[in-house]
Chains A and B, each alone.
Chain A
């Protein structure tokens, strides 16, 4: 399901590998080289299509419940991938990523409620545009901040934004939020795919396009600039990189990904409430990113799988252990924390880092 993402991710995580178009080497005839000879956006889109096909296959063999969770993995992954570009790419820490998801989710809910005839794609484009505007506003205001100051500033966003739903109670529905109903599978496909499966497919289509865009940015010139800034801002500035502008752009791209993810979440779940977009969500996204592995889009996949499934597995485990009810109810949260601590203790680069180490070790054993 994820091989495409992995490959883009590997490229993204290897700052040294310049896009093939810029490579001075003559193009050889082997399939690998021909693949690398393709322009990077095309390559990423092809991989995205492959990923989508894999998700479709997965959906065909599983049921409705899995469809909902696969969709959840999808939009969570997009949100984390955006955060990845920001934190892992440009070295800015944001504790307010959940706020951008909230902007996206409420935008989707309002669009569906007040403009029901707009097609979903238009809604998603509007949401991306809106998140970009929000990202510019926040990013421009925080571009001069570093480390904990930036974290503090974005923290305000995560804490404060849900309060807007109370301030504009009539429009945003207060603490009960907004409930929407979205169209399911088109009549043509009814019977072939269920509504949930259709929604999961729509989510993943948007997600893989988003990921392809993120991967392209990450492997391109912009990505290289971001990494230069992450590693040493002064050196980057001396090399002629516009530090402020690049940081704002990174923030904007991340917020667009977050907003799109939130919009997709509202589309799938049919509800947007302030209790979904608490500070805990922003922290979970960041914790998930650390768990999955900072510095690669591939880590975003592990992170989202962990966020969606780890608690489920833990509650199954708790049930199997036949613990007292209090322990059973709270075990999943403890489990998530323990897993993060263990992963970081033994594999500081997260799950992706661990897997990379294993592959490198396997490769080095191969006879040359």
Chain B
């Protein structure tokens, strides 16, 4: 009897699974989606518009990125205090996803179904946002300015409602590559990169200009906070210039390790790792209770080259940087304003700007039309693309040199390029100041 009961379980399970099998075709065979209705005003009332975002508010990624939503919230509160946009207040709702895609999916559904957001603004992270990009497009929710430089956001054919924001990693790397090839001609170059799309896409750009000069390619995993082997290898290979396509924690680790072994390359850091205030915080944290505790964190950063596409908070002459400092002073949550705050603040200003252009009869279609036709004039000093089949966002970067003491010097004006093999071009783009740019009533 017992043996037979085992067989029966197996039989019954097989039967049930067969039934399941006949009920659906291949698990990976996805049928084409039908068009979505964009002539809706979900989340819009007479006097408010609800927008949402998924951000890592807790967990290991939170210390690095919490500032983005804080910055954005400060700008939206400033906008609301000025009377909102077309008479509507912006209701900015942030859901925590702890940088875990499984949680991003839940958070996004909650925003879309429960909070009924009008649009997703600045959803953060490549793995996290990749998990919801299909869903947002299927639901007809405009997916504006995801906060990551992955190439995937600029794919209007497949994801017509997704509008990229960050200068993608390949464009940025091409301009870095050209700058190094011109200014450090003949010197040996080493790459230090994060072993995911950041590293992959960055190398695709760097190699277009530096293939001859590269002597070492070293990667790190974002889960393993140790780069000593990588730095030792870069030194052994004799790299005089190190291009770091890294997040801030690993820029700091790399610089410390290099200082420890007496290796002094020229550092070239991407925008994602180039927030000097964050770097200083990390460096003084890492040097605590070590021999280097008395060395000012600033000293490690002296002479570092950074590529950037937004206004920079170190720049005392920049109108937007000063404006952001003032706004954060009044509407922010306290603490030092970093370039990570500026990231969220620039995003918020640009979203408010396009919401303004979408007009008083606000529908999702109106927002998409506004995005497609917007003539962007800042706050960033770099041209911005969101129409004509190009959803790539910022189109290039400029190069600055950081000097200890907290000042930066612009050493190459903004240049733009594409993500393929196209040329790098100079641009005569000039942003409007905070007083001229229309982004609130």
Contacts and interface: CB of A to CB of B under 8 A. Distances in A.
B36 interface: no
Task: Output the residue of B6, B28, B223 with the most chain A CB within 10 A.
Answer: B28
Interface stretch (A141-149, A175-183, A237-245, A289-297): A175-183
A123 interface: yes
A271 B9 contact: no
Interface string A301-336: 000000000000001000000000100011001000
Given A112-B28, A121-B18, A274-B223, A63 B102 contact: no
Interface in B190-219: 195-197
A276 B130 CA distance: 14
Interface string B99-142: 11110011001100110000000000011001100100000000
Given A269-B102, A269-B105, A271-B130, A183 B196 contact: no
Nearest to A169: B195
A166 B102 contact: no
Contact of B26 (A40, A68, A119, A275): A119
Interface in A112-149: 112-113, 115-125
Contacts of A162: 223
Contacts of A213: 9, 13
Given A176-B126, A220-B2, A65 B110 contact: yes
Contacts of B30: 181-184
A181 B58 CA distance: 28
Interface in A259-273: 265, 267, 269-271, 273
A124 B17 CA distance: 9
B57 A329 contact: yes
Interface residues of B, number: 48
A178 B2 CA distance: 43
Interface residues of A, number: 67
A56 to B, nearest CB: 14
B28 A42 contact: no
A152 interface: no
B29 interface: yes
Interface string B1-23: 11001101100110011101101
Nearest to A108: B27
A41 interface: yes
Nearest to A124: B17
Contacts of A367: none
B25 A271 contact: no
B8 A68 contact: no
A69 B106 contact: yes
Interface in B211-244: 221-223
A269 B5 contact: no
B196 A111 contact: no
B101 A118 contact: no
Contact of B134 (A19, A117, A181, A275): A181
Given A39-B5, A180-B28, A273 B101 contact: yes
A351 interface: no
Nearest to B95: A315
A183 B127 contact: no
A221 interface: yes
B333 interface: yes
A162 B1 CA distance: 44
A40 B4 CA distance: 11
Contacts of B221: 163, 166, 174-175
B290 interface: no
A116 B28 contact: yes
Nearest to B113: A65
B12 A45 contact: yes
B20 A179 contact: no
B127 A40 contact: no
A115 B26 CA distance: 8
B127 A181 contact: no
A94 interface: no
B319 interface: no
Sort A-B residue pairs by CB-CB distance and give the 8 closest, nearest first: A116-B28, A121-B21, A112-B28, A117-B26, A120-B27, A41-B9, A271-B131, A329-B57
Given A111-B27, A209-B13, 15 more contacts: A41-B6, A63-B113, A65-B109, A112-B28, A113-B28, A121-B21, A125-B17, A169-B195, A174-B221, A179-B130, A186-B24, A205-B20, A271-B101, A325-B333, A329-B96
10 contacts: A64-B113, A119-B24, A175-B223, A177-B127, A179-B130, A181-B30, A183-B26, A186-B25, A216-B9, A330-B58
Interface of A: 19, 21-22, 39-42, 45, 63-65, 68-69, 72, 111-113, 115-125, 162-163, 166, 169, 174-177, 179-184, 186-187, 202, 205-206, 209, 212-213, 216, 220-221, 265, 267, 269-271, 273-276, 315, 325, 329-330, 333
